[in-house]
Amino acid sequence: MNGSLSDREVLIVTDPQLDFCPGGALAVPQGDAIVPKVNRLARRFVHVILTQDWHPAGHASFASTHPGRRPFETIEVEYGPQTLWPDHCVQGTPGAAFHPALDIPRAELIIRKGYHPTIDSYSAFRENDRKTPTGLASYLRERGFERVTLCGLATDFCVFFSAIDAVAAGFATAVALDASRAIDMGGSLAQALAAMREAGVVLLD
Ligand SMILES: [Zn+2]
């Protein structure tokens, strides 16, 4: 990418929150390393949107909500398998805040996700039942956006699911890998990269 980008393009910065950075409740390795890169990338876009993982206490995705379960185990819930996580990004807590060095004051929308107590939401477009919409696709269409570039945390979860759903919603979709970092459990990064390529997502360095 070079030069100024158009009114048809939007950058979506996924979950650049303290709980996903080293020292946070669900730290992504080098999660904080993306912040200067994201700031730089955002300056090249006319339009920027942020997403924010935003769970009520006792959320169904927290291992602590399920007696006897531990973080990173997978359980079956109504909508299928769900990975259990440490408590993270609880509404209004310091860990749910954006990284303080994130410098994108002109971001036009903050889309919060994961606020339904019984449904997790990796994707910025659809929750983990793959049915409940967040409203983002309609927002982007109404604004006239045609191209979406994603970056943020984590490459193999929220960025990945958002990218797949962006393609499904009809947007030309790219992921800026250098401005993203992965959790990478059990080969999840390689799988996510392969699935994104297969779906037609453009993977940028
Ligand atoms: Zn979450």
Q: Is 15 a catalytic residue?
A: yes
Where do we find the tokens 């979709």? Answer: 173
Rounded CA-CA distance 143/145 in Å is: 6
Nearest to 152 by CA among 13, 25, 18: 13
- Strands (E) across the chain are located at 9-14, 48-53, 74-77, 80-83, 109-113, 147-153, 172-181, 202-204
Q: Is 7 a catalytic residue?
A: no
CA of 5 to the centre of ligand 1 (A): 31
Catalytic residue among 53, 89, 158, 165: 158
pTM, whole model, 2 decimals? 0.95
CA of 154 to the centre of ligand 1 (A): 11
Specify which residues 82 forms β-bridges with. 75
- Each residue's pLDDT tens digit in the chain (205 positions)? 444 568 899 999 999 999 999 999 999 999 999 999 999 999 999 999 999 999 999 999 999 999 999 999 999 999 999 999 999 999 999 999 999 999 999 999 999 999 999 999 999 999 999 999 999 999 999 999 999 999 999 999 999 999 999 999 999 999 999 999 999 999 999 999 999 999 999 999 8
